[in-house]
Amino acid sequence: MSLWTPSGEHQVPRSTTPEPSGPPPSATPDPTYDDLTPEQRAQAEALAAEMAEVRKQLLSAPAAVVVANHAMGLYELAAIHLSADRPDLEEARVAIDAFGALVDTLGDRLGEDSATLRDALGQIRLAFVQVKGALEGAETAGSDAADVTPD
């Protein structure tokens, strides 16, 4: 077998040892419901009932409201990355782009929250530009100071 790289084609030796399939023989199987103690069963049933209730509540909420809530989570994520002691522009950019994708693509389908989301998107994009400018200004000032030599 060979592998192509920008520097040319290279032969790759095949492994003579077969790859193991499945879990190692010493691995214990995952426990089943029958393996649980009565206390553990009660906890599992309570958790399942709680999850069913959450699903029921989520199902009753309009999808636009749920999506708007998730979009605001992306706004918050971007704001956290921009306001950190050391702002992480790339991480903020991912969150802002995801937020923008939702808002720009869905637009008025987001219902009564669409105008608020568009405003929030504009604000976080402006904040990104301001933080980026401040960081670039600080880097420029730092390099200018290093270039100055005393007389």
pLDDT at 29: 73
> Lowest-pLDDT range, 4-8, 73-77, 98-102?
4-8
Q: Would 11 be classed as within a structural domain?
A: no
Q: Would 14 be classed as within a structural domain?
A: no
Q: What span, in angstroms and rounded, lies between the C-alpha atoms of 151 and 149?
A: 7
What value does the mean pLDDT of the chain take? 85
Q: Would 2 be classed as within a structural domain?
A: no
Q: What span, in angstroms and rounded, lies between the C-alpha atoms of 102 and 23?
A: 41
Query: Total domain count for the chain?
Result: 1
Q: Is the pLDDT of residue 151 over 50?
A: no
Q: Is the pLDDT of residue 100 over 50?
A: yes
For 32-91, the pLDDT digits (tens) are 888 889 999 999 999 999 999 999 998 999 999 999 999 999 999 999 999 999 999 999
Q: Would 7 be classed as within a structural domain?
A: no
Q: Is the pLDDT of residue 4 over 90?
A: no
pLDDT band at 16 (very low <50, low <70, confident <90, very high): low
Q: Would 99 be classed as within a structural domain?
A: yes
Q: Would 119 be classed as within a structural domain?
A: yes
Q: Would 75 be classed as within a structural domain?
A: yes
Structural domain range at position 73: 63-140
Q: Would 51 be classed as within a structural domain?
A: no
